[in-house]
Amino acid sequence: MVSEDVAEFEALVARQSHFVYRVVYAILRNRHDAEDAVQETFLKLYRNHTWKAIEDERAFLARTAWRVALDCISKSDRLPKQASTDFQPDYEPALSAPSPEQHAIAAGQHTGIHRMIDTLPEELRQPLVLSAIDELNSREVAVILGLPEGTVRTRIMRARLMLKQKLAATMEKPHAR
Amino acid sequence: MRDDPTQDRDELDILLDAALATYVDSEPSPSLRPRILAAASDLDRPSLGWLSWAIPALAAALLMTIFLTHRPAARRETSQPTADLSAPRVPASTERTAYIPPKSIATEATLHPGSNLPRAARSVRTTASVQPPLPRQDVFPTPISLNPEEQALAAAINRSPERIAKQIAQSGAPSQEEPIEPLRIAAIHIPPLNPPDNGDN
């Protein structure tokens, strides 16, 4: 490969590797697997020389990374960590200014909600977690998943609704005691 | 605090958004970028992986070439006895030439230009001894042009065939019309050897 191309590729890696990592990490939820998937994503582009003629760089990279992540899941024949749904926090939601104690409680809350997210069906989980990445709007998520934007929005709403219902149910239990 | 359902919903939304933000929040290791670039530069290097299949393929092609080039030779060698079996035609001719005087051999060769019997007989003898098999020709035996002596003889015959025939008859060679009389060999008398007189021998 010509040195100019190499320099361009290095710039692309420097520019987008963090973003690609976040996309695959949202799907894989494992740091090592995500790094392998990021490397595979960029090497795939490098081999095919497709990275030179990309119109929407981020959307293209995100879609490629998403496919590589799905391949990783299918190869390892496993899904992201499945957590039990009987998450029962015995605390009040901490929404005001976080003290260290409240921060620890919030971390516990988040861990519980992460488990809930893991238990969502993949068709709902993937649009939800991709939309949670700051850099992606619903149109880009639709491009990545190859779905209409309206479908993506509907799935995100359904996922959020399911999570809130579960969360509300778990938070009702301590109050019912 | 829990009495207002809209407030609950808002709190849940905020809680959910915060949890989602941490769900996708992870930083790659600093070595990821150099690792990707190193792997990409490895792709640029010429790989020697092709040797793993190219060497066996080359060896197979070489063996196949050797097999194909030596196989016709082997077939020729095996077919040589067949040629020898068909050879009796030539020895029969040579037997025939044994009855004819040397001059008449050339005469017969001239009368039947395609035959070339002495040469054919010679070639059979040499082939059977040491010479490697000759390449197969379209016409067998291969026509050979007459040597100068044979050409001169043929020209003389063509000029005056009657005179040549008369000369052959005069030379005592049996003509084709007259039956060949059996040879009569007189009894051989061998006198006893005289003893050496002085013993000088």
A68 and A111 assigned to the same domain:
no
* Cβ neighbourhood burial of B49 (10 Å; 0-12, 13-18, 19+): exposed
pLDDT of residue A90: 40
Is some CB atom of chain A closer than 8 A to the CB atom of B82?
no
Q: Is the pLDDT of residue B16 over 90?
A: no
What pLDDT, in 10s, does the model give residues A124-158? 998 998 888 877 888 888 988 899 999 999 999 99
Which of helix, strand or coil describes residue B142?
Answer: coil
In the predicted model, is pLDDT for residue B201 greater than 80?
no
Kindly state the tokens that stand for A163: 């999570």
- Same-domain pairing of A136 and A68: no
Helical H segments across chain B, by residue range: 5-23, 32-44, 51-85, 89-99, 102-111, 117-129, 148-159, 161-170
Same domain, A114 and A164: yes
Contact status of B38 with chain A (Cβ, < 8 Å)? no
User: Which amino acid is located at B46 in the chain?
Assistant: P
Note whether A57 and A19 are within 8 A (CB).
no
* pLDDT, position A89: 43
Instruction: Please check whether residue A92 lies inside any domain of the structure.
Output: no
Q: What pLDDT shows up at residue A106?
A: 66
Dihedral of alpha carbons B84, B88, B89, B92, sign: positive
Angle, alpha carbons B34-B35-B39 (nearest 5°): 115
Average pLDDT on A29-57 reads 85
In a domain, A130, yes or no: yes
Residue A112 sits in the same domain as residue A156: yes
- CATH code assigned at A42: 1.10.1740.10
**Same structural domain for residues A72 and A11?**
yes
Instruction: Note whether residue A123 is domain-resident.
Output: yes
Contacts of A59 (CB under 8 A, 6+ apart): A140, A143, A144
> Is B8's CB within 8 Å of A167's CB?
no
The better pLDDT of the pair A146, B85 is held by A146
Q: Summarize the confidence of residues A28-45 as an average pLDDT.
A: 90
Rounded Cα distance between A85 and A102, Å, is 23
Predicted confidence at residue A80, as pLDDT, reads: 52
**Total structural domains within chain A:** 2
- Highest mean pLDDT pick, B107-116, B174-183, B188-197: B188-197
Cβ of B12 within 8 Å of Cβ of A31? The answer is no
Indicate if A110 and A62 belong to the same structural domain.
no
The tokens of B171 are what? 């030379």
Residue A72's domain comprises 3-76
Tell me the C-alpha distance between A10 and A86, whole Å.
Answer: 46
Does residue A85 form part of some domain?
Answer: no
Quick: pLDDT tens for B25-78. Answer: 888 888 888 898 888 888 777 666 677 788 889 999 999 998 888 775 555 555
Residues A170 and A109 in one domain: yes
Q: Shortest CB distance from A13 goes to which of B2, B13, B36?
A: B36
- Residues of B whose CB is below 8 A from A92: 1
Q: Are residues A67 and A107 in the same domain?
A: no
Tell me: do A18 and A66 sit in the same domain: yes
Say which CATH number the domain at A117 has.
1.10.10.10
Query: Model confidence at B93, in pLDDT bands (50, 70, 90)?
Result: very low
Residue A173 and residue A108: Cα distance in Å, rounded? 17
